[in-house]
A and B are shown apart, each in its own frame.
Chain A
Amino acid sequence: MDYNLHKLRAEEISLLIREKRRTVQEVYEYFQKRIAKFNSTLNAVVRSIALDKFSPPNSLLAGVPIIIKDNICIKEVEITCASKILKGFISPYDAGVIKRLKKNSLIPLAIANMDEFAFGSSCETSCYGPARNPWDKNKVPGGSSGGSAAAVAAGFAPLALGSDTGGSIRQPASFCGVVGFKPTYGRVSRFGLVAFGSSLDQIGPLCRDIRDCAAVLEIISGYDENDSTSVEKPANFRDYLKEDIKGVRIGIPKEYFTEGVDKEVEKVLGEALKVLKSRGAVIEEMSLPHTEYAVPVYYIVASSEASSNLSRFDGVRYGLRQNTQTLTKLYTYTRAQGFGREAKRRILLGTFSLSSGYYDAYYLKALKARTLIKQEFEKVFQYYDVIISPTSPTTAFALGEKINDPLKMYLSDVFTIPANLAGIPAASIPCGFDKKGLPVGMQIIGPAFGEGKIINIAFSYQSVTNWHNMYPADYEGN
């Protein structure tokens, strides 16, 4: 029997392999073929990974190909963060998540395009050129994990990993009509994730179906001795794949429904909430008054950390190096050549915020505001199970539309940033389309280590809707 493997769930593909109806090799080649056929338009992946030795099928997702964002280290694979400064860097080690994937016999298939060092919301700052949205190739796929989202939406693989510092998994998932999940800070090891904002970064999955998402999360969650900020907590996420959401309290923050939100997005989300209500959820409007500070706080904290994190790219040990006569020139020429405009902007912003004389007014103040935002969430989660909002104020925007207006670009993360500042889990779930036929995402935010609550609601919603099964027409067939 012939299967359209790209229309199957990851678990179903793994079952075919474990029942020996397909070999790992066949599945790998099937998806590589799709990449070969479609990637020239989408530019969603930037390089393929050769099929390596793999552990014998031993897990629910054994043998399933997975696409990895270009900022997660895989042993003996070139990892560049879509930056010229890292071109040619071959990682000598596996990230914590990659070790876990390999141990569970998942197959790293290809490296996904992204915004340079994850700085961006459109995938346009990539040194490989922009990735495109499978629903409309003139639109951006979102960012920074735009390549991962576009690849899953176009059926390059059933699963992808992205990273989320201020919405970098959820916003592209929303733009591409797939599920994207940012776990609680500390849930997933950051070891081997090239750092952007160390206190904000989390790796998470992108896929079509919340069931696959729960399965991947179970595999990648847990304490890693190489990451001091990681923690061990129960990760029985599949237990939450239940339809019942009767009495579940959902808060709708009024600050997330401002004039900046596209009317159609608001409408689509309203429909989705009706579905949840019909299933028994209790939906209430509520308030998160500190929301307006999230974006400025984020851009100080994230850029400060980034400015320090990017210092190691100096041309001395690896990556790009401009050979010059003096040490100062080695640094300045290498970094001037190697970093793109947005990376430079963030380095300058962060360096400024941390400088003596400005530290108290910017960085320190931002930390205090961050604590307030965190406390605000803790407070509302004493009452609400989850909070729901649009993932992004708009659907996918056009290529080039915001690239020269950083402020406008930053605002496309206005709803996703608070969860990173608070360190709490949040997912984007496909919940419909606007009139242009572009996907809309529903963001579900949960309390710290409350991934299960998000999964429960997402599964309940998915069980009576079909958005997660929609395919962009050009990529539906083989």
Chain B
Amino acid sequence: MKEIEVVIGLEVHVQLATATKMFCRCPNLFGQPPNTLICPVCMGLPGSLPVVNAKAVELGIKAALALNCHINREIIFERKNYFYPDLPKGYQISQYALPLAEEGFIEIEGKKIRIRRAHLEEDAGKLIHSSLGSGVDFNRAGVPLLEIVTEPDVHSPQQAYDYLTQLKTIMQYVGVSSCDMEKGFLRCDANISLPRKGEKLGVKTEVKNMNSFRGVKDALSYEIERQSEIIQKGGRIIQETRLWDEARRKTFSMRSKEEAHDYRYFPEPDLVKYTFTEEEIEKLRNSLPEMPQVKYERFKKQYKIEESLLKALVEEKNLADFFESSLRYYPQPKSVANWILGPLREIMNIKRIENIENIALSPDNFTKVVRMFDEKKLNNIATKKLLSLILENNENAAVVAEKNNLLQISNAADLEAWVEEAVRTNPKPVNDYLSGKKNALMFLVGVVMRKSSGQANPTVVKDLLVRRIKDEKSN
């Protein structure tokens, strides 16, 4: 038995974050009541005609440039013909010959995943099934998509996962899309085959219906298992489209090659050729922000913080931006990075805020909190509490800390009474400590912390307790 290779190609659809749809002026918005964002054009009414959204083309070019693609100077749109209730015109306006961009790549850990092409197209509507029957919501119909197709350069499910993560980061950097997979802003289909070593590509299956990056990874792992089992038993892989079932964690056959559509592509006669000048493309290239790879290298040199922190910061452009803005007010990279990636993100998660862009807290005010912690004016718990209190209103950190009694009490005189009480009412731990069980001291610190409603400075409390117990002993 010859050794088996894994060959994967990925097709990703990214929804472009334009204000309006690809070929009409309906708003491009998510989560609105069904069929409230529609017009004769995106509903495919008789006589309606598409008009290209120049902003979508611009975003597409920026995305493609960020993916190191060559932009074709002349592009055309074509019709992809097939029937489905979510497809209003009976054809999708897409690109076939002369796509927007070709021959790009994404680099992952030194290895290039080549991008074959990136082209613009319109999204379809969405079927909604209920007890009343099936309906179609056309709000999404006509939303601009950029389809990004790789060469078969991916060789493991993990690599597919990394590619998607990196792609998402790049798209977010360019401001092209939030790539939220749950909202369908990014969708991924995968082609996978297991050729024997030396063979070229083998027979591939197309896997669809994955709802997360993790789902892509799982579905591919499942396919590798399924296909290698068939091959090892001497069977043949059938060229087909398979659907990933997240609940059952399996793929199921949807249609075979014979049932595949003949899309009858032909140039869209309702649209004219689109051409770009060198200047236009250069202008867009110059408008691109610092790309994640470059930013990573710069951060590494400039801030000298742990690699894992750097990676996490750079992965989300908004985090990186928040980080750098914060440093302007408080140039302590390590502290600031730790507080952003740790507690701040944790609190955002609890409050179900996904993007740091959506918090009210300003970098200025945020660094006030971090500074108070570093200056030991706040203990760990109080700092988190304070962040939580001002995250969504950006009220002055110092004022809120004061008002909510969060400031740490470090003054021995103010702590004396609590220490005294703790020692008096807990003779057993005191004796334990005296007999060498050092852990007993932490219990007593805890008692004082509780009595001070968390405000006491635990380090100071610890010192006071040790001294007080020593006194007790010497008495």
Binding site for B on A (CB under 8 A): 71-73, 79, 81, 86, 89, 91-93, 95, 190-195, 197-199, 225-229, 304-305, 307-308, 310-314, 316-318, 327, 331, 351, 354-356, 359, 363
Contacts and interface: CB of A to CB of B under 8 A. Distances in A.
A311 B40 CA distance: 16
B264 A308 contact: yes
Given A316-B136, A351-B264, A327 B85 contact: yes
* Listed residue (B45, B46, B90) with the most chain A CB atoms within 10 angstroms of its CB: B46
Interface residues of B, number: 28
A317 B44 contact: yes
Interface of B: 40, 43-52, 79, 81, 83, 85, 88-91, 136, 262, 264-266, 269-272
Given A311-B90, A314-B90, A331 B83 contact: yes
Given A312-B90, A316-B85, A316-B136, A304 B266 contact: yes
Contacts, number: 101
B136 A191 contact: no
Nearest to B46: A194
Given A93-B48, A308-B264, A327-B85, 10 more contacts: A72-B47, A190-B49, A193-B47, A195-B47, A228-B51, A308-B79, A311-B89, A317-B44, A317-B88, A359-B266
* Listed residue (A81, A192, A313) with the most chain B CB atoms within 10 angstroms of its CB: A192
B140 to A, nearest CB: 15
26 contacts: A72-B47, A73-B46, A86-B46, A93-B45, A190-B49, A191-B47, A191-B49, A192-B48, A194-B47, A195-B47, A198-B270, A227-B49, A227-B270, A228-B49, A228-B271, A229-B272, A308-B91, A311-B90, A312-B88, A312-B90, A314-B90, A316-B85, A317-B45, A354-B266, A356-B264, A363-B266
Those 4 A-B pairs whose CB atoms lie nearest each other, nearest first: A311-B90, A198-B269, A199-B269, A354-B264
A197 B266 CA distance: 13
Contacts of A72: 47
Contacts of B45: 73, 91-93, 317-318
A355 B266 CA distance: 10
A415 B452 CA distance: 99
B81 A311 contact: yes
A326 B44 CA distance: 22
A81 B46 contact: yes
A355 B265 CA distance: 9
A313 B272 CA distance: 25
A190 B272 CA distance: 14
A359 B264 CA distance: 8
A356 B50 CA distance: 26
Nearest to B50: A228
A304 B40 CA distance: 23
Nearest to A351: B264
Contact of A355 (B47, B52, B136, B264): B264
A27 B270 CA distance: 38
Nearest to B44: A312
B44 A225 contact: no
A363 B81 CA distance: 15
A198 B46 CA distance: 12
Given A308-B264, A311-B91, A327-B85, A229 B44 contact: no
Contact of A191 (B48, B265, B272): B48
Contacts of A73: 45-47
A351 B45 CA distance: 21
A192 B272 CA distance: 18
A356 B262 contact: yes
Nearest to B271: A228
B46 A89 contact: yes
A228 B264 contact: no
B127 to A, nearest CB: 10
A190 to B, nearest CB: 6
Nearest to A231: B272
* Listed residue (A89, A194, A311) with the most chain B CB atoms within 10 angstroms of its CB: A311
A391 to B, nearest CB: 25
A187 to B, nearest CB: 15
A154 to B, nearest CB: 27
A122 to B, nearest CB: 23
Contact of A308 (B40, B48, B81): B81
A198 B50 CA distance: 12
A401 to B, nearest CB: 31
Nearest to B24: A226
B46 A79 contact: yes
Nearest to B89: A312
B270 A312 contact: no
A89 B46 CA distance: 9
A38 to B, nearest CB: 29
B392 to A, nearest CB: 42
* Listed residue (A72, A73, A308) with the most chain B CB atoms within 10 angstroms of its CB: A308
A228 B272 contact: yes
Contacts of A314: 83, 85, 90
Nearest to A117: B46
Contact of B46 (A312, A356, A363): A312
A228 B272 CA distance: 7
B83 A226 contact: no
Contacts of B85: 314, 316, 327
* Listed residue (B40, B45, B88, B272) with the most chain A CB atoms within 10 angstroms of its CB: B45
A93 B90 contact: no
A50 B46 CA distance: 22
A327 B82 CA distance: 13
A307 B89 CA distance: 12
A317 B137 CA distance: 11
A311 B83 contact: yes
Contacts of B270: 190, 195, 198, 227-229
